[in-house]
C-alpha cells in the first residue's frame, strides 16, 4: 500500500485537500482497497470477496468493522456503499473517536460546523423545528391550532434509541447532560446496529426529556425531508454546542430552525420579576422592565422552557396566531 492509494481514496471520499493526511490516521492500509472498491458502487460481501480475491469470511469481518466505525452505509439487502469524508468525520467526532485525529481535532470540528452552515444556507427549507417541552404551560383557550410536542413525535416513532449528544461530545463547550439524543426509526436502527446507541421505550424516552428540561435544554426534531415531514432525530440542545442552534443564532441562517407555532406570553400582574425565565431563554426573547418580565415575541421560538420554570405561573404558551 502506498501514498498514491490514499490519494485515490481521498478523491473518492471527496476529502478536502487540507485534510488528506487525516485518512492514514483512521484507515488501515489493508482497508484502503476495500473502501476504493465499495466507493465505485453498492456491493455485497460476496462481490467484494470476488473482486478482492479474499475469503468471504475475511471480507465480512473487515466490512462489518468499517460499518461499525461509520465508514459505510448498509441497505436492507445488505449492500454496502461508502459515506463521504464529511459524514465519516462527523461520526468519529460525535461518537467519541476524535482521538484518532491527533492534531487535526479542532480543525475538523470547525470544518464540521462550517459544512453544516454551508448546507443550511443552501437548503431552502428548515432542517429542524423547536418543540415545546412536555412540562410547558400551554393556554388551552387560545391554542386553537394543532401543534407537535416532543412526546407526540416519540409516540409516532416505530423505534427509539438513545446516545450521547453529538454536538456536546464534539465541541465540549458546556457540562450539560450528554445522554439526551433520541434517534428515531431507520436512523435509530442503524445506530443500534452499529453499537453506538441503545434501544429504549417511550416511557424511558420521556424520562430523558424531563432531565433535559431540568437542565434548560431545547427540544428539537431534525428532518431528513422537511416537505414530507420525515423526522430522524429528537435532540435536547444547548446554544453553545448545537450545530443547528448555532447556525441560526451565531451564523444568521434565519430559516434553519422552524418555530413551534407557539409563543410565550406573561401575565404582568402575576409576574414577580425573579428573572428565571430570562436565564432559561436561549433565544434572547426575554427582558426585565420595571421589575416585570416581558417577551420579545419576534425572538421567541415557543420552546416552553420559561413557562416550565415560572414559580408564579405567570408565563404560558399561546398560539403564535393569537
Please say if the pLDDT value at position 141 is more than 90: no
Structural domains in the chain, sorted by start: 3-119 (1.10.10.10), 123-319 (no CATH)
CA angle 303, 309, 313 (to 5 degrees): 100
Please say if the pLDDT value at position 167 is more than 90: yes
The x, y and z cell numbers of residue 165, run together, are 449528544
The pLDDT value recorded for residue 279 is 95
Quick check: 119 and 86 in contact, CB under 8 A?
no
The predicted model gives 259-280 an average pLDDT of 94
Spell out the residues 6+ positions from residue 229 whose beta carbon is closer than 8 angstroms to its own.
223
Please say if the pLDDT value at position 36 is more than 80: yes
The DSSP 8-state label assigned to residue 264 in this structure reads: E
Backbone angles phi and psi of 183, in degrees to 5: -85, 150
pLDDT tens, residue by residue, 217-265: 999 999 999 999 999 999 999 999 999 999 999 999 999 999 999 999 9
Please say if the pLDDT value at position 140 is more than 90: no
Please say if the pLDDT value at position 145 is more than 60: no
Entry pTM: 0.91
pLDDT tens, residue by residue, 40-77: 999 999 999 999 899 999 999 999 999 999 999 999 88
The pLDDT value recorded for residue 146 is 59
Amino acid at each position: 500500500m502506498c501514498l498514491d492509494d490514499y490519494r485515490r481514496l481521498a478523491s473518492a471520499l471527496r476529502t478536502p485537500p487540507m485534510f488528506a493526511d487525516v485518512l492514514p490516521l483512521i484507515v488501515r492500509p489493508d482497508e484502503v482497497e476495500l473502501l476504493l472498491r465499495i466507493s465505485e458502487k453498492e456491493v455485497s460481501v460476496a462481490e467484494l470477496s470476488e473482486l478482492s480475491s479474499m475469503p468471504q469470511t475475511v471480507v465480512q469481518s473487515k466490512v462489518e468493522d468499517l460499518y461499525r466505525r461509520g465508514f459505510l452505509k448498509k441497505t436492507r439487502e445488505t449492500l454496502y456503499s461508502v459515506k463521504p469524508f464529511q459524514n465519516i468525520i462527523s461520526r468519529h467526532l460525535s461518537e467519541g473517536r476524535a482521538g484518532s485525529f491527533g492534531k487535526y481535532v479542532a480543525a475538523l470540528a470547525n470544518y464540521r460546523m462550517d459544512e453544516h452552515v454551508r448546507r443550511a444556507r443552501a437548503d431552502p427549507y428548515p432542517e429542524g423545528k423547536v418543540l415545546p417541552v412536555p412540562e410547558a404551560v400551554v393556554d388551552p383557550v387560545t391554542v386553537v391550532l394543532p401543534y407537535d410536542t416532543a412526546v407526540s413525535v416519540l409516540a409516532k416513532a416505530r423505534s427509539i434509541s438513545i446516545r450521547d449528544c453529538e454536538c456536546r461530545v464534539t465541541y465540549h463547550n458546556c457540562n450539560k447532560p450528554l445522554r439526551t439524543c433520541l434517534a428515531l426509526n431507520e436512523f435509530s436502527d442503524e445506530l443500534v446496529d452499529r453499537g453506538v446507541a441503545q434501544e429504549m421505550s417511550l416511557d424511558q424516552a420521556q424520562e430523558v426529556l424531563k432531565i433535559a428540561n431540568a437542565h434548560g435544554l431545547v427540544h428539537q426534531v431534525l428532518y431528513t425531508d422537511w416537505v414530507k415531514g420525515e423526522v430522524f432525530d429528537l435532540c435536547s440542545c444547548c446554544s453553545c454546542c448545537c450545530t443547528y442552534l448555532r447556525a441560526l443564532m451565531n451564523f444568521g441562517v434565519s430559516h434553519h430552525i422552524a418555530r413551534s407555532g407557539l409563543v410565550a406570553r406573561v401575565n404582568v400582574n402575576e409576574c414577580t420579576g425573579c428573572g428565571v425565565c430570562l436565564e432559561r431563554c436561549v433565544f434572547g426573547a426575554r427582558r426585565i422592565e420595571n421589575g416585570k418580565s416581558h417577551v420579545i415575541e419576534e425572538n421567541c421560538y415557543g420552546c416552553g422552557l420559561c413557562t416550565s420554570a415560572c414559580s408564579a405561573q405567570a408565563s404560558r404558551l399561546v398560539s403564535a396566531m393569537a
